[in-house]
Chains A and B, each alone.
Chain A
C-alpha cells in the first residue's frame, strides 16, 4: 500500500528525517511514536505531500508520490491534523462536504447523488449527523475533531493519516474513535497511519508501531517488542514501567514520578499497630504496595490503612463487602485506601513481631482461630458452609519487592502456616487428619517499595527465611492463645 524508501527531508535547511524506510500493508493500523521533535509530524507531512522529499522515494500503490496530482492524491490519502482552524462559521455539513472536493469534476463541479450519500454515510459513522446544521465554531473540541474526521472520510481515501487523533477527545470518544478506526481497517481494508502521544493507546490498538528517535527509526515492530521498558526509557529519557493490560494482551506503560521518597524511611513496626476489641488497625504513613485477599481492597493495589475487624461468630450478611465498607467509613477509615479483613477471633489474641535482617525488616501480625480447621488434601469431604474460624496473616515488608517476590511471599507464608498447624497437631474435625488451615484464611503482603530491592522470597532467600520464621512463630503463638481461651 505505502512504501517509504530511504527518505530524508523536512523543513528548509536541516533534514529532520534521515534515511527512513518502512512499509505499510493494506488494512494495517500503524502507530508512529517518538518524543517531541523526533520527526513524527514531519513524516506525516511528507507522506501527505505537504513537505518535499529531499532524498529517497515514497510509493503509494506502487506509484511514486510525486506522480500523483494533488486531487488524485487527495482521493488516496486523507489527513486528520492536530489543529484545524475555523475562522468562519461553516455548518457541520458544509465542512464535511468539502471532503468531496477531490471527487468533483468539471467546471461547475456539480454535487451528485453519490456525493450526498457519501457525506451522509460518514456523518452517521462519526456520529455528527445529529448536529449537521450546527455551526462548527459552536462545537466542543471533541465534536470538531469528529467533524474533521468525517471530512477526511468523505474523501474516501485508501490511506488515512492521523496526527494525534485523540488529542482533544475525552475518554469515551478516544475509545470510540479508535474502535471505529480498528473496525474500518479490519472490515474495509482502510490503511491507517497515526501518530500517538499515548503509548498505552498505541499499544492497545496498533498492529505495528514505528518508534522514531531523532529523525531515524529506532524500531518498527509489534507493540510488545516496541514497548519495552528499557527501549522506551532510553528513547523518551524517562522512568517508566511496563505492566500487562488486565483484559487485553497488550503492553501498557506507566510513568514513575520523581516525588515521594521523603518520609519513606519510616519503618512499619509495632508502634503503628493499634488493638481494640472491635478492630486491629495498622496505619502506614505512606501507601504500601499490597497483594491481599481481604474483604475490601483485595487483589493488588496501594493501600495505607489495614483493618482486621472482629465480628461475632454468627455474623451473616448478604453483601458483606458493602457492610464492611460502611463499617470502615463509620469508623473513620477511607474504604478506597483500606484493606479490610474479618475474624471471629478475639483481637487481643493477635500475635505480632518484628524481624530484622541486613538492610530490611518485616513486621508480621497473625490472628488465628482454628475452630474450622481443614485438611486441604481432603477438602472435598467438606460441604461448602462458611463458618468462622480464620487465620489472617499480615506481612509488612520494609523493602522493595518484585511481583514474583510478592507471590513467593504468599507461598512461603502458607507453607510456614501449614507447618505451624502441623506441629500444633490442629485436627480437621471431619476427616480426623491434621489440618492445613481454615476455609476462610486471608493473607496480606504489603511492601514499602523503597529501600533494599528484594527480588525473590522463596523459603531460603533472605526475605523468605524471615517470612518463614516470623509466620511460623506468630501463627503458633496466635493458635496457642486462642486455644487457651477456649479451654478457659
Chain B
C-alpha cells in the first residue's frame, strides 16, 4: 500500500524525470568534488562553464583544480555514469524481455561473456584492422551476444517455459564456467597479469577520456534501440505469445532487444570490467517508484543508473582512502541483498496464489 502511495505521488512523469535528473546532477557534482583533494562545487561549475561556453577564462581558477577536474575526476565520473546507465538500461530490458525481475547482465552471465571477449583481446593483443581502439568493445559485444544466446538456448532446453529460476541458474553456470576460462587465461599470461586482474574486478579509475570515446557511441546506439522498443518490451513482459497476439513481431523484436542489451553490456564491460548488480538494483528501484511501463522505466533507469554508479564509485575510493576498493565490491554489497529481497517477494507472491 505504501508502495502505491509513493507511485501515486510520483505519478506525474515530469516530476519523476525531474527528481531523477536532480539526483544525477547532485551525484555528478559530489562525485567530482570529493576525493583526496576536495574541489569546491562552485569551482567545478565555473570550470564547466568556462570549458563549455568559454565566457569565463580558466586563468582565474586554480590550475590544480582545473587539472584535477578535467583530467582525473570528470572523465572518471562521466565514465562511471555511462557504465551505470548502460548496465541499468540493459538490465531493465533483459528483465522485461525475459519477464524476470532477477535478470541482469551479471546474473545472466553476459558480463562474464563480455569479459572473456575483453580478456582475449588484451591477452592476444588483438586489433581488428580499421577499427583500432574499438576492437576491445566490439569483441566484448560479440561475446556478450554469443553468451546470452547460449544461456537462453540452454535454459529453453532445460525447461520450455523458462522459469525465472531456471534462467538465473543457467546464467550462474555460464558465469562460473566463463570465470574459470578467464582465470585459466590469466594463469597462462605473464606480464599482462596486473592489468587484467585490475580490470576484472571492475573499476572506472585511471581510464581517461579515451575510454569515454570507446563506450559513448555504443551507449547511444544501444539505448536508442531499447527506448524505441519500449512498447514492445511492455507487450513482451506479458509473455511472448501474448505479445504476438497483440501484434508484436516477437522474433524480430527479441533479436533487436537482445542485441541492444549485448551492445550496452559489452561496451560497459570493455571499459570498466565486470560490475555486477547495477542492472538488477536500478530497474527494481525505478519500478517501485514509477511503475513497470518501459517507456518511462528505460530513460529513468539511465538517469538513476548513472547517478548510482557515480556514487558507488565515490564510495569505493572514499572507504579506505587513499587506496581504492574495486567498484564491484560496493555494487555487490548493495545488489546481492536486493537480489535476495526480490526473490523473497516473488516467492511470497507465488504462495499467496497470484
Question: A residues engaging B (CB < 8 A)?
Answer: 45, 48-50, 70-71, 73-75, 77-79, 81, 84-91, 94-95, 98-99, 101-102, 104, 107, 109, 135, 137-139, 151-152, 155
Q: A70-B249, A73-B247, A85-B239 are in contact. Are A90 and B293 (CB under 8 A)?
A: yes
Q: A101-B235, A107-B228, A109-B231 are in contact. Are A71 and B292 (CB under 8 A)?
A: no
Q: Can you report 20 residue pairs joining A to B where beta carbons are below 8 Å apart? A: A50-B245, A78-B245, A81-B241, A84-B238, A85-B99, A86-B238, A87-B164, A87-B237, A88-B99, A88-B292, A90-B234, A91-B291, A98-B231, A98-B234, A98-B238, A101-B231, A109-B231, A137-B349, A151-B246, A155-B246
Q: Are B349 and A81 in contact (CB under 8 A)?
A: no
CA distance A81 to B242 in the complex (A): 8
Assign chain B's interface to a size class: 20 to 34
A-contact bits for B276-287, CB 8 A (1 contact / 0 none): 000000000001
Q: Are A101 and B246 in contact (CB under 8 A)?
A: yes
Is B171 engaged at the interface, CB distance under 8 Å to the other chain? no
For B245, give the chain A residue with the smallest CB separation: A79
CA distance A165 to B249 in the complex (A): 25
- Closest Cβ of chain B: how far from A9's Cβ, in Å? 16
CA distance A238 to B77 in the complex (A): 72
Q: Are A101 and B242 in contact (CB under 8 A)?
A: no
Q: Are B292 and A74 in contact (CB under 8 A)?
A: no
Residues of A within 8 A of B292 (CB): 88-90, 94
Nearest first, the 7 A-B pairs at minimum CB distance are A74-B247, A102-B247, A88-B292, A87-B99, A71-B247, A79-B245, A70-B249
Is B120 engaged at the interface, CB distance under 8 Å to the other chain? no
Q: Are B293 and A94 in contact (CB under 8 A)?
A: yes
Q: A87-B101, A98-B234 are in contact. Are A49 and B244 (CB under 8 A)?
A: yes
Contacts A90-B291, A90-B292 supplied; 19 other A-B pairs, CB < 8 Å = A48-B244, A70-B244, A74-B245, A74-B246, A79-B245, A85-B99, A85-B242, A87-B237, A90-B237, A91-B291, A94-B291, A98-B231, A101-B247, A101-B248, A104-B231, A135-B4, A137-B349, A137-B354, A155-B246
Q: Are B238 and A85 in contact (CB under 8 A)?
A: yes
For A140, give the chain B residue with the smallest CB separation: B354
Residues of B within 8 A of A75 (CB): 247
For A95, give the chain B residue with the smallest CB separation: B238
Chain A contact residues: helix, strand, loop or mixed: mixed
Within 8 A of A (CB), among B263-309: 287, 291-293
For B252, give the chain A residue with the smallest CB separation: A70
A-contact bits for B82-120, CB 8 A (1 contact / 0 none): 000000000000001001110000000000000000000
Residues of A within 8 A of B249 (CB): 70-71
For B293, give the chain A residue with the smallest CB separation: A94
For B96, give the chain A residue with the smallest CB separation: A88
Residues of B within 8 A of A88 (CB): 96, 99, 101, 237, 287, 292
Residues of B within 8 A of A85 (CB): 99, 238-239, 242
Q: Are B231 and A50 in contact (CB under 8 A)?
A: no
Residues of A within 8 A of B293 (CB): 90, 94
- Closest Cβ of chain A: how far from B181's Cβ, in Å? 32
For B242, give the chain A residue with the smallest CB separation: A84
CA distance A73 to B293 in the complex (A): 25
For A151, give the chain B residue with the smallest CB separation: B246
Residues of A within 8 A of B248 (CB): 70, 101
Residue from the set A49, A98, A155 with the largest chain B CB neighbour count within 10 Å: A98
Residues of B within 8 A of A89 (CB): 287, 291-292
Other-chain residue from A48, A94, A107, A139 in contact with B245 (beta carbon distance below 8 A): A48
Residues of A within 8 A of B291 (CB): 89-91, 94
For B234, give the chain A residue with the smallest CB separation: A98
- Closest Cβ of chain B: how far from A251's Cβ, in Å? 32
Q: Are A87 and B247 in contact (CB under 8 A)?
A: no
CA distance A79 to B240 in the complex (A): 13
Residues of A within 8 A of B99 (CB): 85, 87-88
Residue from the set B96, B101, B235, B245 with the largest chain A CB neighbour count within 10 Å: B245
Residues of A within 8 A of B246 (CB): 74, 98-99, 101-102, 151, 155
CA distance A98 to B354 in the complex (A): 21
Residues of B within 8 A of A95 (CB): 238
Residues of B within 8 A of A99 (CB): 246
CA distance A392 to B292 in the complex (A): 72
Within 8 A of A (CB), among B291-344: 291-293
Residues of A within 8 A of B231 (CB): 98, 101, 104, 109
CA distance A70 to B291 in the complex (A): 28
CA distance A115 to B349 in the complex (A): 32
CA distance A62 to B211 in the complex (A): 58
Within 8 A of A (CB), among B197-253: 228, 231, 234-235, 237-239, 241-242, 244-249
CA distance A49 to B293 in the complex (A): 27
